[in-house]
Amino acid sequence: MMEELLVIPERLARIKEVLSRRQPDLRLFLERVVNYHNVSAILRTADAVGVLHVHYFHEGELPINDAITRGAHRWLILHREKEVASGLRLLKEAGFQLVGTGLFPETVDFREVDYTKPTVVIVGHELEGISETVRQEADLIVKIPMYGMVQSLNVSVATGVILYEAERQRRQKGLYDAPRLSPEEMEAIIKEWAYTRVIQEKARGRLRR
């Protein structure tokens, strides 16, 4: 790389290590998740599981709280979708299976799905759940069994449960053992995370090397 080193070598090594385990073909789609606690907790879990790309449909900016994500959202690529249907269709055309979530009659147990395939997990609004559009576009809808008095889980908890099932399956298949990103993709992201963004943050006076 030609650029001046703008992060300490240990941080650069950490970024490379994290990227070497990222799963570019395990994605999240947040459909109008509005509460910042929920969004932030979801992004923190996404980072932990090795998700790289998070798509979202939301009026305005995604509400993120730094104290809750602990900065995890900085190590994800967030895609704002203008529309749910077109956003999902593009992902389907790119070869992703679309896995909706919720408690509908057509659902299957979340553990019956093969998450080692290119997958987008779609989670919905805190009260209304996923929309009719998602139900139509999704290849299948999964549910997490519920045995209590309350009908559903908190959306960030449900996301965590499903993502960790995906992690279990992918780990078993060795998908964390070797980088899933090409050297060129890795290089481009490192450039963004360790150089371009550092210059921007430096300009804003919030540099963290």
Binding of ligand SAM by 76 (CB under 6 A): no
Near ligand SAM by CB under 6 A, which window of 65-73, 81-89, 140-148, 183-191?
140-148
Taking CB under 6 A as the rule, which mask of x and - marks residues 155-174 in contact with ligand SAM? Answer: x--x----------------
How many whole angstroms from its chain centre is CA 51? 5
Do residues 140 and 113 make contact, with C-beta atoms less than 8 angstroms apart?
Answer: yes
* Interface region with ligand SAM, contact rule CB under 6 A, candidates 16-24, 62-70, 87-95, 96-104: 96-104
Which position among 23, 45, 101, 119 is part of the footprint of ligand SAM (CB under 6 A)?
A: 101
Binding flag, residue 186, ligand SAM (CB under 6 A): no
Question: Do 124 and 134 touch, CB atoms closer than 8 A?
Answer: yes
Question: By CB under 6 A, is residue 124 in contact with ligand SAM?
Answer: yes
CB of 119 to ligand SAM, least distance (A): 15
Please, which residues have CB within 8 angstroms of residue 23's CB and are 6 or more apart in sequence? 49, 50, 51, 52, 170, 175, 176, 180
* Cβ proximity of 68 and 129 under 8 Å: no
Cβ nearer to ligand SAM, comparing 21 with 135? 135
Residue of 33, 34, 44 lying closest to 66 (CA atoms):
44
Name beta bridge partners: 143: 109
| Cβ–Cβ under 8 Å, residues 124 and 31 | yes
Q: Which stretch binds ligand SAM (CB under 6 A): 18-26, 61-69, 123-131, 189-197?
A: 123-131
Q: Is 54 an interacting residue with respect to ligand SAM (CB under 6 A)? A: no
β-partners of residue 54 are 28, 78
Give contact residues for ligand SAM (rule: CB under 6 A): 101-103, 123-124, 126, 129-130, 143-144, 146, 152-153, 155, 158
